[in-house]
Amino acid sequence: MNWIILVIAGLFEVAFASCLGKVKETNGTEMYWWFAGFLVSLTISMVLLIKATETLPIGTAYAVWTGIGAVGTAIIGILVFKDPASFWRIFFITTLIASVVGLKFVSH
């Protein structure tokens, strides 16, 4: 169950990073709404990460949480923020995914 919580925490990490990207692109009231989304997503992500580390090793949980956030944010960057999608960028995103899955399999 805590692996599921950890994945959800990682998805909220993607959400707070994406909200920061939108804060940078907007102004006025819209910027404040994106900033509020950032704060809510950050809070949820941290609470779920804390919950997941009650039974998972902190090093593994943090690495998986960060990996999910990095991969998800890179994909959102490509799809939403028009970041480049070069061969090497996709290659290293793929290796990050493999590393996160590998950590899951070698953790007790």
Name the token pair of 77. 């960057």
pTM to 2 decimal places? 0.87
Tell me the pLDDT of the chain (108 aa) as tens digits.
999 999 999 999 999 999 999 998 999 999 999 999 999 999 999 999 999 999 999 999 999 999 999 999 999 999 998 999 999 999 999 999 999 888 888 876
> What pLDDT is stored for residue 105 in this prediction?
86
Distance (Å, rounded) from C-alpha 101 to C-alpha 98?
A: 5
> What pLDDT is stored for residue 91 in this prediction?
96
* In the chain, where the domains are located: 2-106
Name the token pair of 78. 């490509």
> What pLDDT is stored for residue 6 in this prediction?
96
Name the token pair of 81. 């923020």
